């Protein structure tokens, strides 16, 4: 028998109990949480599950491509703003030096 934080006796029921995801925390999933890639499924896998997992993998790939496209667009815009600001700063600096 074990005691809880308040000193009350706890019974483990004579066997081991598995923690669920909430008890073990998000960073340590329970044994019941398992990710299986579509190409790693056994021949016994249910065909509808296979189709769903394949669709999920395709969506992940598409989301990754969209994210990469968005990042590329943002990078181009940042470079454009940087170039414009650098040009304006150079012009302002040159004008200030000429006024002195």
Whether 4 is covered by a domain: the verdict is no
Residue 56, domain extent: 45-99
Given a contact cutoff of 8 angstroms between Cβ atoms, the answer to whether 34 and 45 are in contact is no
Whether 51 is covered by a domain: the verdict is yes
Cα–Cα distances in angstroms (integers) from residue 26 to residues 20, 22, 23, 100, in the given order: 10, 7, 9, 63
User: pLDDT digits over 19-40, tens only?
Assistant: 454 454 545 545 545 555 556 5
Which long-range contacts (C-beta less than 8 Å, at least 24 apart) are formed by 10-13?
none
Q: Specify the pLDDT at position 1.
A: 47
Euclidean distance between CA atoms 86 and 35, whole angstroms: 48
* Count of the separate structural domains present in the chain: 1
Cα–Cα distances in angstroms (integers) from residue 86 to residues 4, 8, 28, 61, in the given order: 64, 69, 48, 37
With 60 as the cut, is the pLDDT of residue 14 above it? no
- The predicted model scores a pTM of 0.46
Whether 59 is covered by a domain: the verdict is yes
Token output for 7: 């000193």
Q: What is the mean pLDDT of the chain?
A: 74
Whether 40 is covered by a domain: the verdict is no
Whether 57 is covered by a domain: the verdict is yes
Whether 90 is covered by a domain: the verdict is yes
Contacts of 97 (CB under 8 A, 6+ apart): none
Whether 93 is covered by a domain: the verdict is yes
Whether 69 is covered by a domain: the verdict is yes
């Amino acid at each position: 028998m074990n005691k809880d934080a308040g000193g009350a006796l706890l019974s483990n029921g004579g066997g081991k109990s598995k923690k669920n995801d909430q008890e073990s925390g998000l960073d340590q999933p329970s044994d019941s949480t398992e990710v299986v890639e579509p190409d790693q499924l056994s021949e016994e896998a249910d065909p509808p599950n296979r189709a769903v997992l394949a669709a999920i993998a395709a969506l992940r790939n598409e989301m990754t491509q969209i994210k990469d496209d968005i990042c590329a667009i943002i990078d181009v815009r940042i470079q454009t703003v940087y170039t414009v600001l650098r040009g304006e700063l150079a012009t302002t600096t040159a004008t200030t030096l000429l006024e002195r």
